[in-house]
Amino acid sequence: MGFDIITMGPLIVEIIRIERNRTFCEAGTFAGPFPSGDTPIFIHAAAKMGMNCGFLGSVGDDGFGKCVFDRMKHSGVDMTHTLVVPNTYTGSTFVYYNEDDSRDFMYHLKGSGSEVIYEGEVDREYFKDCKWVHYTGFTMESSPRAKELVYKTMEVLDKNTKVSFDPNLRPGHTQEEIMEMVGPVIERADLILPSKGEASKFFGGDDYDGCMKWMKQGKMVVQKRGAKGSRIFYQGEVTDVPSFEATEIDPTGAGDTFCAAFLTGLVDGKTPQEAARFANVAGGFAISAMGPMEGAVDKNTIEEFLNSNKTRIELTR
């Protein structure tokens, strides 16, 4: 029996500036390292929710690498196709927040063990009978090898394996560059999971029109809208699914956790609307802890909240 979900990408750690409105030019207090990376956050959350998960990626052979590798393995992610690259360091990202919740990232990936991603041919058997494979724009832009791995894995997918795609691209790409890089994934995708402002990067104009265009191409589109919840574009209909109240401690990783929960819902047989409601709760828990993986909860915790008629999410450990 195949995996429920497989994804791939660089495994990194995140170090968070505690004070707000203090740039990287100033000395200050930082927290971390926290296990991170958009696809690691995603697959860790899916495994916490009971999915059978596989991962392709790499880390350096240092303490940071052990931090993220061990967290993934402990959560139940299969790590047999993840490399620990000798004599290399693990990639990292530093982040600081402003009072308006905007943030800035500083990545250190080039030359790291996290950038290696994969070596040799793709193991076709690893993907056999997999239900979903999840790709992200960040993985594809992180290194030429990562982009090549995405293309190679698409070639070995069973026809019944579905593909989800989270654009999650860093600023600075032209529309032509974006389509050249991720166009083949968009074409193969069954589900697209953009955040606010991302659909317009592909088509120009506004987000709503961009999501409508994807839907008309036969895609299910679920837009992550933060505190406003999520919006589903599917089979000619647009449905808003409201969020729940939560105290925001650290929003990094909430979108990746939402994606994981939405796919978990679909694998479990939920309708798109039910899956989005489930995912909105998962995202609410995700923002309630410091560190991008620290707010991930199991399926029962989410279902208990949904059955409680509560309107405010509170994370307790």
The answer to whether residue 194 sits within a structural domain is yes
Indicate if the pLDDT at residue 44 is higher than 90: yes
The β-bridge partners of 56 are 8, 81
Q: What is the pLDDT of residues 129-155, one digit of tens each?
A: 999 999 999 999 988 899 999 999 999
Q: Flag whether 31 is in a domain.
A: no
In this structure, is residue 108 part of a structural domain? Answer: no
In whole numbers, what is the pLDDT of the chain averaged over residues?
A: 92
pLDDT of the residue at 317: 64
Whether the per-residue pLDDT at 248 is higher than 80: the answer is: yes
Report yes or no on 101 lying in a domain. Answer: no
Question: pLDDT band at residue 219, thresholds of 50, 70 and 90?
Answer: very high
Residue 24 lies in a domain: no
Within-domain flag for 252: yes
Is residue 173 very low, low, confident or very high in pLDDT (cuts 50, 70, 90)? confident
The structure's pTM equals 0.94
pLDDT value for 135:
97
Of the candidate ranges 86-95, 194-203, 252-261, the one whose mean pLDDT is the lowest: 194-203
Q: Which domain holds residue 213?
A: 5-9+38-84+119-313
Question: In this structure, is the dihedral angle defined by the CA atoms of residues 203, 105, 8 and 290, taken in order, positive or negative?
Answer: negative
Give me the number of domains the chain comprises: 1
Q: What's 220's domain CATH number?
A: 3.40.1190.20
The verdict on residue 222 lying in a domain is yes
Query: pLDDT-based confidence at 314, cuts 50/70/90?
Result: confident
Whole-number pLDDT of residue 15: 93
- Distance between CA atoms of 86 and 60, rounded to whole angstroms? 7
Residue 120 confidence (pLDDT): 81
Question: Is 174 part of a structural domain of the chain?
Answer: yes
